[in-house]
Amino acid sequence: MAIGIAASSDEHLGLLRQLTHVLSDDAVAAQLQSATTAEELRALLMGEKQSEALKLDNETLSLDVAASDLLTLQALNAARLKEVGAVDAAFVSHVINDTPLNLGQGVWLNDSAEGNLRSAVAVSRAANAFTRDEQPVSLLVTVAMADEQPTAVLNRLSKLLLDKKAEHLLKADAATVLALLTSDDAIAEDVLSAEFVVRNEHGLHARPGTMLVNTIKQFSSDITVTNLDGSGKPANGRSLMKVVALGVKKRSPSAFYRAG
């Protein structure tokens, strides 16, 4: 399939970001291959037929919270999920009034069978660890589960705990916490990171994005790019589609992570 865009100046950038965001979804790519009508293709390309993706980004992440009790983290996570439209009042009431499950290593988990409107995960981390019933508390993960999407996040969390690597979640910055919970890539001990401000007039659209990706491909390391003004989720630096879909604009701070 070939897509042509005709526009003057930078009018095409918003549409380009929309298309790359949609096309970077493997499930949508498969639907495009089997689409049989022009209307179906249009709806897929405009994102009209997409189910809501799991919400786990900077809007549902709270780090360095001034908390000395678990209830503060419970209320904060519930409020975050309510603000993004993932849960209703019944969910909020349940997760605030019920004691979360202690997973060990300072990590706690809670959810509710009621009031799940869309799949989302909220994470809050205390600035300083405290105790609940003589057990350490550093981080609370609250899950709204409207479909199976959160399962992958829970599996990654479980692996971190089983491998005794939960401390990565307790010390990392926001971008790394999101990467640990949304990516299946193994944790590398030799990760290097740097932040840069994009000064290109129209941000990382197709042409400068291509230059960046081609530069990254010259290295054997795994390199990810994160738009710190966006969702905070990392993108594979070797994928032009995923880099452009970040929506990096002029003066956007971007973080680069290199492993290996």
Whether 205 is catalytic is yes
- In the block, tokens 């290109």 appear at 200
The first and second tokens of residue 175, run together, are: 């971008």
The catalytic position among 21, 168, 202, 205 is: 205
H-type alpha helices, 172-232: 174-182, 206-216
Interaxial angle between packed helices 150-162 and 174-182, expressed in degrees from 0 to 180 and rounded to the nearest 10: 100
Distance CA 81, CA 93 (A): 12
For residue 141, give the nearest of 63, 84, 234, 233 by alpha carbon.
63
Distance CA 190, CA 216 (A): 18
Active site residues per annotation? 205
